[in-house]
């Protein structure tokens, strides 16, 4: 620890975003340039706590060596900090941008003070590594002769691919979309994670390291132009399914079939694809311009819908949340080091408040009906709800109607699609995920493994990276009898 009294003398100072009205003019990243003096100062707040909960099971899922690289940044030893960071995390440029930072929620300093700005420091380390040219392709010294097919190119698939390639195996990643990246490319807007500058840069490194990528490959039963997953099973020594959790939770209320009611991921995916293909000139996206927009559901996906709608130039914006507004501070039943369930203002909320003068979120509200005009949604009827004895109950006389030209359903995901798993007769768990024990990742089909959201359910990018890394280790052990992968 470089500065024993740093956590006493220095207050938390997070890196600012670009001003709202500036960043709303484009789809460029919301972040500002890294301030080295701020980062060194914030690194000095890391307090040599003895038991670093930030890298424990309640903190970082990939067990980043956080106190070590905090100290190295404080000492301006950036190259050494990068080496420490890459020991546990294949893609810190992704997590440093989009992870909600459970490490900060379990920071020991956070017991009675503000936690260390771990996420800011992580992002700065890897960005510095790319700027300095320290991050290069990694070709394995020898090849094992073993081949692995990975279905899905999201964070779990990419992490597994890199680890298996390092072990000397020949890896081919199959992706049904036209671009590599899965959720990283089409599920997260460019303003949070730049596609060309950040995602494609890492994918290019993986290609140069010897990993093969095939896009527009819909892996299923071989019918209707799809690729038969059974052929992959026969042609490769092992198959890893990292297809994500892509079946959205629907809202089956009257009027659901009206035009103008869309799943959030359809809205976000089409927006990013059109923007990448033509800067929106092809008009192949769902536009929120001059529309009254209602986003149903919170979380990161809801926030991303808010931010995207604002960039389109929506007329108004409301975000329905079913549950009560969280408290400003931890509740008694939410102690450290568990994830703090508290009121937060994310980038999209800040932008909406700056544009319309108030936070867009409305709490304790349930949608009862979509109302239409000539087949297109024109409003949403709602009722207020309140929690009684652990159950949500309708508040009598609380009915209300809200204008809406565009409704976006951002209520999470139920599980993976089964097009590529049914032909293999894979067993499923009670939530329809591919059944495979955590830490082993073997499915009920011989030589077929699964990892990430399709195995554990909807989760975080950092958990996907964790599972991809661990699945790679188990596949290597399965093929070779032993493994040196972490």
Confidence class of residue 3 from pLDDT cuts 50, 70 and 90?
Answer: confident
Percent of the chain predicted with pLDDT > 70? 100
pLDDT of 98-131, one tens digit each? 999 999 999 999 999 999 999 999 999 999 999 9
Nearest to 163 by CA among 435, 456, 451: 451
Q: Is 48's pLDDT higher than 90?
A: no
Strand partners, 402: 380
When the pLDDT of each residue in the chain is averaged and rounded to a whole number, the result is 97
Q: What is the mean pLDDT of residues 285-290?
A: 98
Averaged pLDDT, 145-166: 98
Question: Model pTM?
Answer: 0.96
Q: Cα(322)–Cα(328) distance, rounded to whole angstroms?
A: 18
Written as six digits, the tokens of 186 are 């089409």
For 289, how many CA atoms within 13 A lie in the half-sphere containing its CB? 7
pLDDT for res 1: 65
Residue with tokens 């082993």: 440
Distance between CA atoms of residues 226 and 479, nearest Å = 28
End-to-end alpha-carbon separation of the chain, Å?
26
Residue 120 in contact with residue 15, Cβ under 8 Å?
yes
Q: Quick one: CA dihedral 446, 450, 456, 462, positive or negative?
A: positive
Distance CA 340, CA 114 (A): 12
| pLDDT score at 50 | 87
d(CA 18, CA 307): 14
Q: Which of these, 238, 111, 94, lies nearest to 164 by C-alpha position?
A: 238
Q: Are 410 and 322 in contact (CB under 8 A)?
A: no
The pLDDT of residue 147: 98
Query: How is residue 90 written in tokens?
Result: 């294949």
**Beta partners for 394?**
385
Average pLDDT for 413-424: 98
Closest among 118, 228, 214, 209 to 168, alpha carbons compared: 209
Q: Which of 379, 131, 353, 405 is nearest to 254 (CA)?
A: 379
Instruction: List Cβ neighbours of 417 (8 Å cut-off, separation of 6 or more).
Output: 243, 246, 247
Q: Do domains 147-246+414-480 and 250-411 have the same CATH topology?
A: yes
Residue 333 vs residues 59, 122, 129, 142, 327: alpha-carbon distances, Å: 18, 30, 41, 53, 12
* Sequence ranges of the domains in the chain: 6-131, 147-246+414-480, 250-411
Looking at CATH, the fold of the domain delimited by 6-131 is given as Fumarate Reductase Iron-sulfur Protein; Chain B, domain 2 (1.10.1060)
Compute the Cα dihedral for 92, 95, 98, 102 and give only its sign: negative
* Chain position carrying tokens 């604002």: 310
In which band, very low, low, confident or very high, does the pLDDT at 377 lie, cut at 50, 70 and 90? very high
Q: Could you report the per-residue pLDDT of 305-347, keeping only the tens digit for each?
A: 999 999 999 999 999 999 999 999 999 999 999 999 999 999 9
Dig out the tokens for 95 from the structure. Answer: 């997590």
How far apart, in Å, are the Cα atoms of 306 and each of 74, 282, 324, 371, 396? 37, 22, 19, 22, 30
Instruction: Please state the separation of Cα 413 from the chain's center in Å.
Output: 13
Number of Cβ within 10 Å of residue 21's Cβ equals 10
SS3 assignment, position 93: helix
Using the CB atoms, write b or e for 145-175: b if 16+ within 10 Å.
ebbbbbbbbbbbbbbbbbbbbbbbbbbbbbb
Average pLDDT (457-475) is 98
As a CATH number, domain 250-411 is 3.50.50.60
Cα–Cα distance for residue pair 91/182, rounded to 1 Å: 14
Question: Quick check: 57 pLDDT over 90?
Answer: no
Residue 451 has pLDDT above 90, yes or no: yes
Q: What is the tally of helices (H) and strands (E) in the chain?
A: 16, 18
Lookup: tokens for 205: 């490194």
Q: Which residues contact 20 (CB under 8 A, 6 or more apart)?
A: 350, 351, 354, 355
Strand partners, 227: 219
**CATH number for the domain whose boundaries are 147-246+414-480:** 3.50.50.60
* Percent of the chain topping pLDDT 90: 96
């Amino acid at each position: 620890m470089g500065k024993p009294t740093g956590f006493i003398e220095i207050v938390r100072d997070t890196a600012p975003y670009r001003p709202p009205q500036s960043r709303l003019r484009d789809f460029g990243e919301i972040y500002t340039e890294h301030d080295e003096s701020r980062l060194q100062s914030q690194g000095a707040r890391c307090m040599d706590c003895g038991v670093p909960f930030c890298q424990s099971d309640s903190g970082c899922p990939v067990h980043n060596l956080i106190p070590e690289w905090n100290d190295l940044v404080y000492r301006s030893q950036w190259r050494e900090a990068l080496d420490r960071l890459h020991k546990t995390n294949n893609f810190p440029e992704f997590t440093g941008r989009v992870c909600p930072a459970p490490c900060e929620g379990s920071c020991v300093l956070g017991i009675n003070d503000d936690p260390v700005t771990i996420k800011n420091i992580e992002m700065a380390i890897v960005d510095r590594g790319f700027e300095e040219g320290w991050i290069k392709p990694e070709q394995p010294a020898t090849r094992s002769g073993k081949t692995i097919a990975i279905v899905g190119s999201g964070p779990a698939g990419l992490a597994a691919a890199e680890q298996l390639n390092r072990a000397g195996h020949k890896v081919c990643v199959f992706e049904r979309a036209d671009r590599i990246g899965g959720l990283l490319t089409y599920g997260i807007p460019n303003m949070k994670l730049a596609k060309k500058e950040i995602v494609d840069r890492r994918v290019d490194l993986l290609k140069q390291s010897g990993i093969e990528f095939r896009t527009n490959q819909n892996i299923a039963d071989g019918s209707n132009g799809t690729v038969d997953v059974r052929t992959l099973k026969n042609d490769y020594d092992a198959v890893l399914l990292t297809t994500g959790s892509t079946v959205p939770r629907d809202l089956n209320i009257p009027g659901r079939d009206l035009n103008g009611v869309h799943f959030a991921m359809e809205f976000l995916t089409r927006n990013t694809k059109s923007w990448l293909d033509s800067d929106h000139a092809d008009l192949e996206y769902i536009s929120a311009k001059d529309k009254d927009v209602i986003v149903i559901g919170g979380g990161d996906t809801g926030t991303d819908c808010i931010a995207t709608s604002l960039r389109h130039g929506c007329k108004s914006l409301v975000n329905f949340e079913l549950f009560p507004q969280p408290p400003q501070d931890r509740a008694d039943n939410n102690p450290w080091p568990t994830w703090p369930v508290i009121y937060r203002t994310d980038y999209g909320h800040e932008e909406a408040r700056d544009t319309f003068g108030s936070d867009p979120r409305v709490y304790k509200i349930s949608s009862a009906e979509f109302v239409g005009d000539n087949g297109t949604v024109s409003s949403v009827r709602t009722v207020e709800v309140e929690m009684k004895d652990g159950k949500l109950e309708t508040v009598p006389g609380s009915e209300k109607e809200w204008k809406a030209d565009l409704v976006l359903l951002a209520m999470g995901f139920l599980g993976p699609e089964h097009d590529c798993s049914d032909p293999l007769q894979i067993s499923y768990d009670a939530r329809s995920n591919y059944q495979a024990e955590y830490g082993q990742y073997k499915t009920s089909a011989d030589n077929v493994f699964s990892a990430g959201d399709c195995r554990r359910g909807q989760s975080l990018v950092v958990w996907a990276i964790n599972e991809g890394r661990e699945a790679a280790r188990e596949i290597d052990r399965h093929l070779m009898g032993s493994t040196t992968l972490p």
